[in-house]
Structure 1
């Protein structure tokens, strides 16, 4: 967050789940029209999400995104056709520390994303159907995560027990300090990625690639991984259903995603600027 500013916005970077998307992972017509209006007004638009790249392709096409996007919280930056621009992998030492801690926690599902695949040991976990619906493709069952340790994009602890994830986040942070980013992308997901894999770095990388000064950028999101881009953007927008700690780090708060808050924000704060 850099304070409310009157600089014209030339580039908007938006989160997906909980921001652009409704709870059923769909896009409303109003949101589609708002993004279309951005492009018509000459404002560049892109996505930054904790999702893997291939879980973004449908939304990229639906929204008409024609610039690079950031997956895995910024750990991977890809062209609209899915080809790779930048990749930051989780250090093997941090991955081992994370997996060891998570393995000792009852009620936690452990997911590893590597090489475009969603890897897990137990495909029958209760959180799996939700994630599969959101991603649009099934997981791959593995006996061990060890063969993938050198090319891990993201590790996720998933649980409906949000208090447990908050406690787990506090335990893990000092163990991987300086090695990895740890944040809750949604209340039920705790994400662990490389240090460079954060949405703030993604915003700066994309803005430089597009030739847009940071003071002429805006960021919009709802999760614990979104303030990283709020602090780098010239203007920041939090969704109405976001946790209070997230909202306090944004310049303005819009409606909830169930109220088409992203479209509201685009119409009010970007197009009318």
Structure 2
């Protein structure tokens, strides 16, 4: 049955609390959405492998992960975009010259070129286990993560074919230029012939701007960056103040 609406949820700072868990009231709200034939969808920069524990009780089985680089619906791959071997090797070489470890992300695995104190600090902030050490460069990856507190503009100048998004103080997301959560959403909607369905999106960070551009209604969390709040149709409460339920009620989805 075709859903009557689709709601896209970012994870960190949005659907998840500060412990990277989904509050019980949100799980109840998601179940109510499904009872009304409203489809909940995750749209995150994380990989599915990284969020399985957080999502295990959510009832959500459509995932747009890795900033739109990988899309899965009910256990089936819808779309996958990868960074080429040549580009990965160039970026690894440049990152190593700067002393920056490089993490390789695919839909089911996370590995990293080097473990350092900053890597440990970054993954603690992410509430994620340390990746497996990968001393031999990967042949391909959906997304890369540079562990670095600076150098954003330098990377952009050196690698114009890539897009660099800083969502965390200690790390930079790296995807193919032209990719985004919006592209993953569009691939999903097109594949399932859902382009005419009303869409809603909840987000808080820099990688949610493109997502907001491709949905009908945009909801920024109270803890969102200012530029996203300015783009939003509605600013709800923060991720730890019931903002998800508040936003759903505002748009009469609950």
Q: Please indicate the TM-score interval, normalised by the length of the shorter structure.
A: 0.7 to 0.9
Q: Which of 1 and 2 has higher RCO (CA within 8 Å, sep 6+)?
A: 1
Q: CA deviation at 1:250?
A: 2.4
Q: Which residue of 2 aligns with 1:3?
A: none
CA distance in 1, matches of 2:211, 2:4: 15
CA distance in 2, matches of 1:191, 1:60: 22
Matched, 1:257 2:239: yes
Q: CA deviation at 1:64?
A: 0.7
CA distance in 2, matches of 1:270, 1:9: 13
TM-score w.r.t. length of structure 2: 0.85
Q: CA deviation at 1:231?
A: 0.6
Q: Which residue of 1 aligns with 2:78?
A: 85
CA distance in 1, matches of 2:207, 2:22: 21
Q: Say what the alpha-carbon RMSD is for the aligned residues.
A: 2.7
Find 2:190's aligned residue among 196, 199, 208.
Answer: 208
Find 1:186's aligned residue among 159, 168, 192.
Answer: 168
CA distance in 2, matches of 1:266, 1:101: 45
Q: Which residue of 2 aligns with 1:231?
A: 213
Structure 1: which 4+ aligned runs deviate by more than 6 Å?
Answer: none
CA distance in 1, matches of 2:132, 2:192: 36
Q: Which residue of 2 aligns with 1:40?
A: 35
**Distance change in 2, residues 1:84/1:206 (3 Å):** closer
Task: Provide the secondary structure at the position in 1 that maps to 2:79.
Answer: strand
In the TM superposition, 1:79-118 aligns within 5 A as 79-81=73-75, 83-105=76-98, 108-114=100-106, 116-118=108-110
Number of positions where the alignment pairs a residue of Structure 1 with one of Structure 2: 252
CA distance in 2, matches of 1:270, 1:192: 36
**Distance change in 2, residues 1:257/1:189 (3 Å):** farther
Q: For structure 1, which runs of at least 5 residues remain unmatched after alignment? A: 1-7
Q: For structure 2, which runs of at least 5 residues remain unmatched after alignment? A: none
In the TM superposition, 1:8-47 aligns within 5 A as 10-47=5-42
Q: CA deviation at 1:79?
A: 3.1
Q: Answer whether contact 1:10 1:43 (CA < 8 A) is retained.
A: yes
Matched, 1:140 2:132: yes
Q: Which residue of 1 aligns with 2:144?
A: 155
Q: CA deviation at 1:114?
A: 4.1
